[in-house]
Structure 1
Amino acid sequence: MNRLKSLWRKHWLALLTVVLPMALAGLYHGLLASDRYVSTTVITVRRSGTDAPTLNGLSMLLPGAASMSQEDTRYLREYLHSQDLMLRLDKELKLRQHYESAHADVVYRLDPDASQEDMLDYWRHRVEISLDDLSGLLTIRVQGFDPDQAQRINLALLREAEAFVNDISHRISDEQLAFAKGELTRAEEQLTAAQRTVIDFQTHHRMLDPQADAQATELRAAELRTRLTKLEADLATKRAFLHDDAPDIVTLKAEQAAVQQQVGRETQSAIAPGSEALTRLSINFHDIKTRAALADGAYRSALAAVEATRVEASRKVKSVVVIEPPTHPETPEFPRHLYELSTLLLLCIALFGIAHLTMATVREHQD
């Protein structure tokens, strides 16, 4: 007994800072610590289009060779850590029952009274998800107290990841295609209305193309003016050596008068007062035809956009590519007895040295 007291007085600091913690840690690792198995899977999100990079050889290590869908991979990472997914898997795989089992490690066991928020925090520590920004690979490591359960959880996560990516991919494609089809319907309605306006105009004014009629009128008037100019020249020439009552002069005058009347009628038909002028009709019809042409162009563009969107949607459908399927662990990865005990021993020795140096400094100042 005296020997124990003497030993305590001489080495109490080492006993408190090194021996006692190491003894407690040894008891824990020897008697209480439960094996924790880790199931691992590696996946990535790929597009089905030709712009998706390959994952062969050294191409994964090259800058720029990473997947173009890393943003989707980040969304997937957050989804796998979501509370909604955890609750659904809890109903399917009895997560709470597994992690709060009485046979589980008391230190790493889930508290039976844990709230959803506490369970979510526990879940995120048991499901490690890491993203390699260079290659775009997503590594999922699931810890479980049973190797079969760890693999089952990992398989369920893989299934949910595939469903999530497929749902997002098809939802975006459907939204884009629905928008393009909506634009096509609107363009078709505008084209139909424009074509109906053209037909109504032609029916109301009883002419196929006022612009063509106006051009024909202008052409006839120009031809008549040319003919009138020629008649005036011929008349002036014959008056130089014929009398005004000569038959040729009389004939030219009659023909000149008739042509002048015809020119007047053609001009009057184009700018007749009190009625809608042919020129104005031509301008209005040109505006209507321009609107119809624009509507036709918009319809053709919308139709091409629908086809392009359909092709692009089918070309860029995303999917989960499994690089390594969920493994079935045979050897527990945790606890790491040697590593944890060695780390604790180093910390205890450091603590002992600091405490011993502090006490020695204090005694030196007291002396």
Structure 2
Amino acid sequence: MTMLKAARFNIRRQETPAPPAPRPAPVLVATATPGEMLFDNPEDGFGDQKFETAGGPVASGARAGNAGSPQEPEPSAGTEANHPIAHELAAIRKEGLTGRQLRTARRLAQSHNLPATSDHDAVRLLRAAGINPFERGSMLDMVAAEPGTAVAAAGEGGGGKAGGGTGRALSPLPGDGVQLPQTIKPIQVPSTEQRIEVNHAAEILRMQQDIAKRRRRKLALLFVRMFIFVLLPTLIAGWYFSSVATRQYGTKSEFAVHKAESPQAGGALGGMLQGTSLATSQDSIAVQGYLQSREAMMRLEGDVGFREAFMGAAIDPILRLPPEASLEDAYKLYKSHILISYDPSEGIIRMEAIAPDPQLSVEWSKQLISYAEEQVDQLTHRLREDAMQSSDEGYTDAEVKLLEAQQKVITLQEQFKVLNSETELTLLTTQIGTLDNQLIQERLSLAQMEANPNPNAARLEPVKRRIITLEAEIATLRTRLTEGQGGESSLAQIQGQLRLAQAEVETRQMLLAQSLQAKETARIAANSQTRYLSISVAPVPPDVPTYPRVFENTLVTLLILIGIYLMISMTVAILREQVSS
């Protein structure tokens, strides 16, 4: 077994005075030397061994691992004043070297066979020999506390490299005291992949900035186009409606069409519909169409002068009619100023007349209502005339037919020489009955005579002859009832023809009476009004202008312009996409 040998050190505890209060430790900045990585193994080879000389006041105040280690004996103030070595050791202590650096310097002094009595003395001897104990790549450069100390060390350390401040010697900074090293993250040079990523990110950023710039430019152009094609025309329209447009007054009125017929006039179904809007819906629609027609406009022009109301200098240029305006231009203005609507659920016609003057609008409304009432009456005028004419013709025809029937009866009476067939029939039936009674009496008398055992022949013969005569007369009378004699018609035929003629006369009389009643009814209907208007809302002149409605009209103008702009923009975008593709 090979035994390890190590240099002996004097580790006897020496009584030293209490050290002065340690100064604040300077901030130590760790930098990676060339050829050395940041995470190299910091082990110095001593493990957990502690050294008495490495536990000075600076190291014990800076590291917790060295807090309990024995402190190196320091020379007294008198010794420091007499020996320059004491000044150098004091300057080295002020550098704030770590325990690892001190152990490394002691190990390096042992390898060079330098008689070091302590770790600081090993640093002094190495620097005096021209060796920098902290030249290895795994060590950290330390920053000294004060520049005065560095100057003193440079002046008293001889001509070594450490005293000259060359190479890797620690450089003191102004205001630094006892400092400990502090690790920092090294600056790493980006790799090729990182550079590619950085270039890619820069390109993306440039593209994003370019896109944002183009987007801002397009947005600005959009705002300009919206202002020119939408906002500016809207502002002009709002200015026109608020300042230039002529103030107009609208007069509203409501009326309905009613029927004057009784519920029985149209039967059961007519009675159910009577009084509802369905009974007069056609008349109401016809009145609405008439009031919106050119005929109504021409009548209004002839009565109150429609076009003259819009030809004055007080009318704005857009609404004003020129003196040479055509009828079609006036009719367009009429349709926009006479608004008529019909509500089929309620059967009410609503009308609004708009004019530059309130009294003029009321006059137009009343005039149009009178036109509507005349039109309603005119709708049934032809019907009433036709009914009157038909009733007159029917009555005349009934009179003629009645006269013909009566003449036929008279002709039959003269032909058959019979005034009344019923009287003749009654007379014949009476004669036949009388003769039957006589025949019965004679037969009874004959029977009594023949019942005598010795009848008288002179009395029997006359009775038998009377019986034969009565039977012959009765047969003749019966023949006259059903059979004609000598080419004459029988009483049955005469009675039948006379009854038919008399029945026809009675029928014609009844038809004549009905025709007369229909004629009277038609005359009454022709003289009365079957359709009439009932005004539910009378026209009243307004005291403030009704039109133009500035806000509503401006808003509608804005919406229309926006719709037109969007439609044109979409069309242009679609065409551009089709052309580009």
Q: TM-score, normalised by structure 1?
A: 0.78
Which of 283, 286, 290 is the aligned partner of 2:499?
286
Structure 1 residues 217-226 or 130-139, which shifts more?
217-226
List aligned pairs for 1:25-36, cutoff 5 A: 25-36=237-248
List aligned pairs for 1:96-245, cutoff 5 A: 96-110=307-321, 113-169=324-380, 172-203=383-414, 205-221=416-432, 224-225=435-436, 228=439, 231-232=442-443, 235=446, 238-241=449-452, 245=456
CA contact (8 A) 2:249 2:358 kept: yes
Partner of 1:88: 299
Structure 1 residues 10-19 or 352-361, which shifts more?
352-361
Partner of 1:59: none
Pick the structure with more helix per residue: 1
Which of 214, 217, 229 is the aligned partner of 1:17?
229
Distance 1:197 1:118, change over 3 A: farther
Partner of 1:301: 514
Residue 128 of structure 1 deviates from its aligned partner by: 1.4
CA contact (8 A) 1:37 1:144 kept: yes
SS at the partner of 1:103? coil
Distance 2:517 2:572 in 1: 85
Residue 295 of structure 1 deviates from its aligned partner by: 0.6
Distance 2:315 2:404 in 1: 74
1:249 aligns with 2:465: no
SS at the partner of 2:279? coil
Which of 515, 540, 547 is the aligned partner of 1:327?
540
SS at the partner of 2:258? strand
Partner of 2:550: 337
Distance 1:234 1:43 in 2: 100
Partner of 1:75: 286
State the one-letter code of the partner of 1:130: S
SS at the partner of 1:273? coil
Distance 1:98 1:263, change over 3 A: same
CA contact (8 A) 2:449 2:455 kept: no
CA contact (8 A) 2:377 2:529 kept: no
Residue 170 of structure 1 deviates from its aligned partner by: 5.2
State the one-letter code of the partner of 2:296: L
Structure with more contact order per residue of length (Cα contacts < 8 Å, sep ≥ 6): 1
CA contact (8 A) 1:36 1:335 kept: yes
CA contact (8 A) 1:228 1:259 kept: yes
State the one-letter code of the partner of 1:343: V
Deviations 1:39-64 (A, max 9, x none): 22211222345659xxxxxxxxxx97
SS at the partner of 1:323? strand
Distance 1:10 1:278 in 2: 116
Distance 1:197 1:104 in 2: 83
Residue 119 of structure 1 deviates from its aligned partner by: 3.4
Deviations 1:164-219 (A, max 9, x none): 33444455434323422331232123223322333344355443212431353245
Residue 353 of structure 1 deviates from its aligned partner by: 6.7
CA contact (8 A) 2:241 2:553 kept: no
Residue 337 of structure 1 deviates from its aligned partner by: 0.7
SS at the partner of 1:285? helix
Residue 150 of structure 1 deviates from its aligned partner by: 1.7
CA contact (8 A) 1:45 1:67 kept: no
Residue 245 of structure 1 deviates from its aligned partner by: 5.0
CA contact (8 A) 1:242 1:249 kept: no
Distance 2:487 2:572 in 1: 120
1:275 aligns with 2:492: no
SS at the partner of 2:487? coil
Residue 157 of structure 1 deviates from its aligned partner by: 0.9
CA contact (8 A) 1:211 1:281 kept: no
* Coordinate RMSD, CA, aligned: 3.8
Matched pairs, number: 351
Instruction: Return the index of the structure with the highest Cα Rg.
Output: 2
Partner of 1:38: 250
Distance 1:278 1:11 in 2: 117
Structure 1, unmatched stretches of 5+, are 1-6, 53-62
Distance 1:359 1:77, change over 3 A: closer
State the one-letter code of the partner of 1:34: T
Give the percent of matched residue pairs that are identical in Structure 1 and Structure 2.
21
State the one-letter code of the partner of 2:305: K
Distance 1:229 1:112, change over 3 A: farther
Residue 292 of structure 1 deviates from its aligned partner by: 0.5
Distance 1:314 1:355 in 2: 64
Distance 1:45 1:235 in 2: 95
CA contact (8 A) 2:342 2:349 kept: yes
CA contact (8 A) 1:13 1:352 kept: no
State the one-letter code of the partner of 2:257: V
Structure 1 residues 332-341 or 348-357, which shifts more?
348-357
CA contact (8 A) 2:247 2:546 kept: yes
Q: TM-score, normalised by structure 2?
A: 0.52
CA contact (8 A) 1:211 1:283 kept: no
Partner of 2:48: none
SS at the partner of 2:315? coil
Distance 1:104 1:210 in 2: 94
CA contact (8 A) 1:180 1:309 kept: yes
Distance 1:357 1:298 in 2: 80
Distance 2:572 2:327 in 1: 47
